[in-house]
């Protein structure tokens, strides 16, 4: 991770540690970088945060000042930006979103011409440029485009519509008579998801579909799924899907109100794809956050798996290197490499529906052999992530917990890639053991004096 860019772009609180000046300078650099040999075409999408409009205008100013033509998708999903880049030959794209974070945060996710996360080398060059621009002794800025070389701005809502059409085309059969609930998180999915399910014939029931700029992810969506659980049960729905702010992740609720995490989705889809001969090399790519129960269930089904660092870009890198067709994160970022280069919540919904419809089974029946271990994850805000994680007392506490858990559980202690927090996660046989083990490590973090 760099000074500005983490595992999922440049993220921070709007106008605190991610400002309009940052966005303008990022635009200036990208417009110059991709315009060294030709006039670049760059596409921008955004979520529903109030600050997304402010950052959109700042990026456009920087990009066009450097000579780039900018195409605006307006409110849309992160995977739609990736799709439009790939399908229509853009040099790169930018999604303005802080994903599942609160409304007052925002972020700049830069996506390269192949439709996946920007290369680390280019991120480093952007960071070096930003450091020069915001230092006391500034180097000369990049040249401005002049006259006919100045970039233009194009309303490109049709790009989002083409993405919607693409999703609809992926369905293998009609959703007629299926009662489907959607929690749109008052975010990006509000412009896409319902239209897709309606077009496929579902009886679509929607909640949290009225964004006001400050209610994105607020007690809704994939990070607050209690509302959808209740909604599915009370309305007798067949299934419910919950997205995050930019709709690149999805969690599922079955007909009885039980939540299916990303691990359960990978298990369900992996088994289905294996039966159809579509699970390349009989392997699913997971991250270190996936549950022990998933691995035990995959062992029983004879399905192989690999583990990467946390972050869907690491999952995708592994998939591309080895030719795998399915991978994802426990949090709900699921990648189907045949159809997408990044996690796509709405695409994931369609794949879950496909498995249900083709096998003619209820969702609960499709995952009956999967037993997820109890898991507890807590975030601790700290002043210095590296100092807290590597503190001697913290390491001693972690070692003690690992010995107590033995082979019937595990501890994961890691730095967040997007927030100033240490994540403490324990899996064990009971919720009580999880809580006790997590508290032991958190107490050590508090004692080391790094908590805010």
* Residues forming a β-bridge with 18: 14
Residue 3 in this model has a pLDDT that exceeds 90:
no
Residues of the chain with pLDDT > 90: what percent? Answer: 85
Contact between 21 and 110 under an 8 Å Cβ cutoff? The reply is no
The pLDDT value recorded for residue 4 is 87
Give yes or no for residue 265 having a pLDDT over 70: yes
Strand (E) or helix (H) holding 41: strand 41-46
Other beta carbons less than 10 A from residue 257's beta carbon = 17
Q: In what order do the strands lie in the sheet with 239-243?
A: 203-207, 179-183, 239-243, 250-253, 259-260
Q: Is the dihedral of CA 388, 390, 393, 397 positive or negative?
A: positive
CA distance 104 to 282: 42
Average pLDDT, the chain: 94
Q: For residue 139, what pLDDT is reported?
A: 58
Determine the average pLDDT of the residues in 20-31: 97
Average pLDDT of the residues in 90-102: 97
DSSP secondary-structure letter at 303?
Answer: -
pLDDT at 351 over 70: yes
- State the first-to-last Cα distance of the chain, in angstroms, to the nearest integer: 21
pLDDT tens digits for range 176-190: 999 999 999 999 999
Residue with tokens 């194009």: 154
Q: What's the confidence (pLDDT) of residue 138?
A: 55
If pLDDT is split at 50, 70 and 90, which confidence band does 137 have? low
pLDDT, one tens digit per residue, over 191-210 is 999 999 999 999 999 999 99
Residue predicted with more confidence, 385 or 109: 109
For residue 68, how far is the Cα from the chain centroid? 27
Give the tokens for residue 243: 């997205």
Q: Is 216 helix (H, G, I), strand (E, B) or coil?
A: coil
326-341 pLDDT, tens per residue? 999 999 999 999 999 9
Active site residues: 99
Nearest to 153 by CA among 50, 31, 25: 31
Spatial separation of the C-alpha atoms in residues 355 and 361, rounded to whole Å: 8
How far is residue 315's CA from residue 203's CA, in Å, rounded to a whole number?
34
Q: Residue holding tokens 């030719």?
A: 323
pTM: 0.89
What value does the mean pLDDT take over residues 214-220?
97
- What are the tokens at 379? 């975030």
Total residue count of the chain as it appears in this document: 452
């Amino acid at each position: 991770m760099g000074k500005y860019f983490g595992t999922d772009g440049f993220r921070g609180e709007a106008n605190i540690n991610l400002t309009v000046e940052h966005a303008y300078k990022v635009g200036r650099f990208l417009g110059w970088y991709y315009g060294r040999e030709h006039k670049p075409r760059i596409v921008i999408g955004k979520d529903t945060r109030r600050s997304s409009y402010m950052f959109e205008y700042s990026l456009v100013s920087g990009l066009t000042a450097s000579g780039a033509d900018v195409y605006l998708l307006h409110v849309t999903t992160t995977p739609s930006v990736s799709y439009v880049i790939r399908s229509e030959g853009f040099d790169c794209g930018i999604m303005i979103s802080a994903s599942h974070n609160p409304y007052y945060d925002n972020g700049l996710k830069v996506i390269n011409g192949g439709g996946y996360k920007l290369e680390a080398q280019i991120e480093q060059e952007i960071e070096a440029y930003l450091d020069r621009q915001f230092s006391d002794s500034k180097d000369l800025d990049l040249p401005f485009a002049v006259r006919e070389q100045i970039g233009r701005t194009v309303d490109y809502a049709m790009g989002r519509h083409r993405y919607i059409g693409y999703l609809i085309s992926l369905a293998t059969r009609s959703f007629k008579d299926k009662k489907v609930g959607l929690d749109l998180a008052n975010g990006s999915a509000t412009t896409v998801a319902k239209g897709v399910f309606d077009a496929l014939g579902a009886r679509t029931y929607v909640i949290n579909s009225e964004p006001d700029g400050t209610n994105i992810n607020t007690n809704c969506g994939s990070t607050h799924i209690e509302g959808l659980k209740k909604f599915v049960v009370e309305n007798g729905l067949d299934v419910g899907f919950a997205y995050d702010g930019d709709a690149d992740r999805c969690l599922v609720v079955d007909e009885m109100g039980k939540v299916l995490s990303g691990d359960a989705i990978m298990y369900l889809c992996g088994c289905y794809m294996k039966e159809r001969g579509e699970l390349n090399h009989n392997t699913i790519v997971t991250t270190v956050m996936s549950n022990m129960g998933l691995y035990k269930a995959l062992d029983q089904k004879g399905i192989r798996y690999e583990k990467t660092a946390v972050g869907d870009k690491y999952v995708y890198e592994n998939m591309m290197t080895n030719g795998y067709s399915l991978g994802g994160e426990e949090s709900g970022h699921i990648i189907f490499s045949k159809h997408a280069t990044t996690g796509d919540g709405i695409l994931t919904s369609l794949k879950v529906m496909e498995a249900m419809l083709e096998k003619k089974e209820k969702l609960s029946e499709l995952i009956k052999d999967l037993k997820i271990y109890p898991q507890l994850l807590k975030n601790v805000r700290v002043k210095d992530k590296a100092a807290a994680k590597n503190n001697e007392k913290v390491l001693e506490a972690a070692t003690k917990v690992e010995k107590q858990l033995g082979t019937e559980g595990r501890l994961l202690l890691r730095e967040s890639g997007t927030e100033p927090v240490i994540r403490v996660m324990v899996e064990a046989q009971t919720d009580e053991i999880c809580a006790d083990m997590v508290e032991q490590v958190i107490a050590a973090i508090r004692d080391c004096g790094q908590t805010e």
